[in-house]
Amino acid sequence: MWLQGIVLIVSLLVLAWSADKFVDGSCGLAHYLGISPFLIGMIIVGFGTSAPEMLVSAISAFEGSPDIALGNAYGSNITNVLLILGVAAIVNPIEVDFSVVKKELPFLAGTIILTVFLVLDGFISRLNAITMLVLFIPIMVISSLGKKEEQEEESGKKESLIKSVCLIIFGLVLLVSSSRALVWAAKDIALALGVSELIIGLTIVALGTSLPELAASVSAARKNEHGVAFGNVVGSNLFNTMCVVGIAGAITPVTVDPKILTRDLPAVAIVTLFLFIFGIRRKIDRFSGIFLVAFYIAYTVLLGLKIV
């Protein structure tokens, strides 16, 4: 199993690094084409930081491991709120823009309610999956309305078109290959340890695919870019709930493990409630950050011990 362990660690690191290169190339191409900074942040960076989740879940569905796909999606949502926001708040307390509570968070809550409704029968059909993907489009559009476009920062010379395209291709190739390696290693480790693929997806895979969000949110918190730190998590969770699950289900219909309905989706709902609480308080202080990280550790330990 040592080989699978090494492959798992290396693939997680390559996954995070290649996602960063993919975002760099996409931003460079967007700047070259004259796309606005807001759309770059909303669509390109949002997609880029969620690309690991999307590709890992897609490949898991292709290879007949739907539990890894769903565990990755819902586990990433839990990880984003508890670990990523927690660590970011410990680094620097986060001030929350109340407009997010009025606009984006209701969308996130609505998508979770929709997800529960769609999987109540224990099955995600292609129709269910396509419904998620189609509904995500107006959510993105409505969410972007009324936003003030930020001024583009002059960061020196822009990347050339050729370099940007090369970064996109290079990043995408590494994203796909590292995702395949990650799924292979995760399946073998789950089999060797006698744990379910769902648990592996909720913990190791979810943590690994959330590394880009962790880096982005911690960096934003250190720079006092509070809106980016909090908005990155909310946006990523929207991507995970609708797109990651939708892509997996569109590739192949997914049978839903009963534990997802009784344990994991309730956990996603609880951490989403935390977002509303912090939004109403308009701040995530260091004490709250410590609480979130402690909650994440406890949840992960309970999963590992098969207590929940």
For residue 301 the two structure tokens come to 């330990």
User: Which of the residue ranges 3-7, 58-62, 154-158, 268-272 would you say has the lowest mean pLDDT?
Assistant: 154-158
Mean pLDDT in the chain?
80
pLDDT value at position 219? 72
pTM given for the model: 0.80
pLDDT in tens, 263-283: 999 999 999 999 999 888 888
pLDDT value at position 130? 93
For residue 104 the two structure tokens come to 């984006």
- Distance CA(139)–CA(42), nearest Å, equals 12
User: Which of the residue ranges 22-36, 124-138, 147-161, 224-238 would you say has the lowest mean pLDDT?
Assistant: 147-161
How would DSSP label each residue in 64-109? Answer: T-HHHHHHHHHHHHHHIIIIIHHHHHHHSPEE--HHHHHTHHHHHH
With a cut of 80, say whether residue 249 has pLDDT above it: yes
User: Which of the residue ranges 26-35, 43-52, 131-140, 241-250 would you say has the lowest mean pLDDT?
Assistant: 43-52
Q: Spell out the domains of the chain, with CATH numbers in brackets.
A: 45-149+181-304 (1.20.1420.30)
- Distance CA(15)–CA(25), nearest Å, equals 15
pLDDT value at position 46? 59
pLDDT band at 148 (very low <50, low <70, confident <90, very high): very low
For residue 113 the two structure tokens come to 């309610």
How would DSSP label each residue in 14-76? Answer: HHHHHHHHHHHHHHHHHHHHT--HHHIIIIIIHHHHHHHHHHHHHHHHHTT-HHHHHHHHHHH
**CB neighbours of residue 188 within 10 Å:** 17
pLDDT in tens, 196-233: 888 888 888 888 777 777 777 777 777 777 666 787 78
DSSP-assigned letter for residue 153 = P
Q: Greater confidence, 182 or 242?
A: 242
DSSP-assigned letter for residue 264 = I
